[in-house]
């Protein structure tokens, strides 16, 4: 049953693009060296090329002459339910869909999107890790993967506004910008909301949050469940349409930026005339336009580095904005890790991995590589523009007792405002 559902899903997914990618692979194995999960385990099953080979097997069996012949003669290697369960662990717990492997593939194969397709087939077969699926179910039923109900969301926003004495407009029509936060930010990093509210006020930007489109995270996207991904995206797009905004600003959340900025346009009708942008871009533009002024050297008191998030920097290309901001805020203290920018090493918590309890040991082992990178340059602090990465860093530095301070860049910008 599992086997058939997964295979059916793969056969549906395999179009010209997927077939071309699979055919192009020369089995050189170079992608393995780029994968942090392979590097810490030294297990060939964690090599990106192996992770996508499930899709490759479906393709061979169904779409190649030799494959069909082998099947007809009973010579094809059947895929067992047991093997699928093992694959589920590999692609959900041992892959953050960071797409770093694609950077080294000499054939230009986009392994990340292919692994996303492998996840989709396993999801169709009901083989999603329980914790990840529970979060998706909660997001569907309640509106938040962390289980934040409508009332709890309203109360939390009101509490943040009161506690920090900031104005957080709710459901305000006719403003320019709809800001969508993640439940992680609302519950664990409320200072992100405060920072955005203060920056928007200083820049005289008209904005609002929405009670209907209140969750930027999309757990169905992690699963590869296309229909549910669209449903979650539509909650925000629908709210943006109703409010009549000109743009949606994604807060410090990487995969949400990918989902709204690129995936949405490929899987559904997106509202015309509404720009999707990321907070790092907006803050940078305000600064460049003189709408906010920042104190030069505000963080020049100890080596600080920047972590490039896979979906915002490698995928999204927002590489210069945080660097220019940091060159201003910490001209002497800012130091790059190596590798960085589009070659940056993933933190190990993306792709929904951080929500899977069973993946904890592997996730933290992978983070050890990031600790080494930071230690090499003597970093005393690290900042980033993704709250999922920030959660992973917060847990990771505590696990390794490294003492490195973990910060969100938007919050740093707010605190450096003149
Ligand atoms: S997408 Fe990232 S985590 Fe997944 S196989 Fe490639 S390098 Fe490894
Ligand atoms: S690097 Fe590219 S061509 Fe080589 S094994 Fe990996 S996916 Fe195939």
pLDDT tens-digit series, residues 350-396: 999 999 999 999 999 999 999 999 999 999 999 999 999 999 999 99
Q: Which H or E element spans position 207? A: strand 207-208
| Cα distance between residue 60 and residue 68, in whole Å | 8
Choose the weakest-confidence range: 51-55, 77-81, 221-225.
77-81
pLDDT of residue 283: 98
Q: Is the Cβ atom of 361 under 6 angstroms away from ligand 2?
A: no
Nearest to 336 by CA among 303, 300, 298, 372: 303
Alpha carbon nearest to ligand 2 atom 6, residue: 31
| Cα distance between residue 44 and residue 372, in whole Å | 23
284/143 same-domain check: yes
254/279 same-domain check: yes
Q: Is the Cβ atom of 88 under 6 angstroms away from ligand 1?
A: no
pLDDT at 154 over 80: yes
| Cα distance between residue 285 and residue 320, in whole Å | 12
Query: pTM for the full model?
Result: 0.94
pLDDT of residue 38: 98
pLDDT at 313 over 60: yes
3-state secondary structure of 268: coil
Atom index in ligand 2 nearest the CA of residue 52 equals 7
282/328 same-domain check: no
Q: Is the Cβ atom of 362 under 6 angstroms away from ligand 1?
A: no
Choose the weakest-confidence range: 6-10, 143-147, 174-178, 206-210.
6-10
235/308 same-domain check: no
Domain boundary among 261, 288, 315: 288
pLDDT of residue 62: 66
| Cα distance between residue 52 and residue 27, in whole Å | 12
Residue 170 lies in a domain: yes
Q: What is the mean pLDDT of residues 274-283?
A: 98
Strands, E assignment, 107-164: none
pLDDT of residue 19: 77
Cα 113 to middle of ligand 2, angstroms:
14
Neighbour count for residue 233 (Cβ, 10 Å): 22
Residue 176 lies in a domain: yes
Q: Is the Cβ atom of 52 under 6 angstroms away from ligand 2?
A: no
| Cα distance between residue 88 and residue 84, in whole Å | 6
Expressed as residue numbers, the domain containing 178 is 139-288
Q: Which residue has the tokens 């012949």?
A: 69
Q: What is the mean pLDDT of residues 24-31?
A: 94
Count: domains in the chain = 3
7/85 same-domain check: yes
Residue 115 lies in a domain: yes
Nearest to 21 by CA among 110, 115, 146, 149: 110
| Cα distance between residue 214 and residue 144, in whole Å | 8
| Cα distance between residue 334 and residue 54, in whole Å | 43
Q: Is the Cβ atom of 25 under 6 angstroms away from ligand 2?
A: yes
Distances from the Cα of 26 to the Cα of 31, 95, 109, 148, 246, angstroms? 11, 21, 10, 47, 46
Dihedrals phi, psi of 278, to nearest 5 degrees: -115, 150
Structure tokens at 234: 């539509």
Atom index in ligand 1 nearest the CA of residue 346 equals 2
Name the residue of 23, 48, 102 whose CB sits within 8 Å of the most ligand 2 atoms, as the mutation to test its pocket: 48
The β-bridge relationship of strands 177-180 and 247-250 is parallel
Q: Is the Cβ atom of 95 under 6 angstroms away from ligand 1?
A: yes
pLDDT of residue 114: 93
pLDDT of residue 237: 98
- Place 3 in a pLDDT band, splitting at 50, 70 and 90: low
Alpha carbon nearest to ligand 2 atom 3, residue: 25
pLDDT at 10 over 80: no
């Amino acid at each position: 049953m599992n086997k058939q559902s997964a295979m059916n899903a793969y056969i549906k997914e395999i179009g010209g693009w997927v077939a071309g990618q699979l055919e192009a692979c020369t089995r050189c194995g170079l992608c393995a060296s780029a994968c942090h999960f392979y590097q810490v385990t030294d297990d060939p099953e964690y090599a990106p090329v192996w992770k996508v080979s499930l899709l490759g097997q479906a393709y061979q069996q169904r779409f190649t002459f030799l494959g069909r012949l082998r099947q007809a003669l009973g010579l094809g290697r059947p895929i067992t339910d047991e093997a699928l369960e093992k694959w589920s662990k590999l692609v959900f717990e041992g892959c953050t869909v960071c797409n770093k492997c694609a950077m080294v593939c000499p054939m230009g194969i986009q392994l990340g999107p292919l692994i996303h397709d492998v996840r989709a087939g396993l999801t169709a077969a009901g083989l999603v890790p329980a914790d990840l699926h529970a979060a998706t179910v909660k997001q569907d039923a309640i509106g938040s993967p962390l289980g934040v109900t409508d009332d709890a969301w309203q109360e939390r926003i009101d509490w943040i506004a009161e506690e920090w004495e900031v104005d957080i407009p709710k459901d305000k029509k006719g403003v320019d910008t709809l800001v969508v936060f993640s439940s992680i930010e609302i519950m664990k990093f409320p200072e992100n909301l405060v920072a955005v509210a203060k920056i928007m006020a200083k820049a005289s930007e008209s904005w609002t949050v929405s009670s209907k489109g209140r969750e930027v995270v999309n757990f169905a996207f992690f699963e590869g469940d296309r229909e549910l991904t669209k449903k979650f995206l539509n909650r925000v797009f629908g709210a943006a349409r109703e409010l009549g905004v000109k743009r949606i600003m994604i807060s410090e959340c990487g995969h949400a930026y990918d989902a709204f900025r690129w995936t949405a346009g490929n899987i559904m009708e997106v509202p015309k005339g509404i720009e999707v942008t990321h907070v790092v871009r907006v803050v940078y533009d305000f600064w460049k336009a003189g709408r906010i002024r920042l104190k030069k050297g505000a963080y020049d008191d100890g080596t600080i580095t920047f972590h490039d998030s896979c979906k915002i920097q490698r995928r999204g290309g927002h590489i210069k904005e945080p660097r220019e901001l940091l060159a201003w805020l910490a001209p002497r203290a800012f130091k790059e890790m190596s590798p960085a920018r589009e070659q940056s090493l993933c933190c190990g918590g993306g792709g929904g991995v951080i929500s899977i309890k069973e993946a904890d040991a592997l996730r933290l082992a992978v983070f050890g590589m990031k600790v080494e990178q930071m230690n090499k340059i003597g970093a005393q602090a690290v900042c980033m523009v993704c709250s999922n990465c920030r959660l992973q860093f917060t847990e990771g530095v505590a696990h390794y007792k490294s003492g490195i301070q973990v910060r969100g860049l938007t919050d740093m910008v707010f605190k450096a405002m003149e």
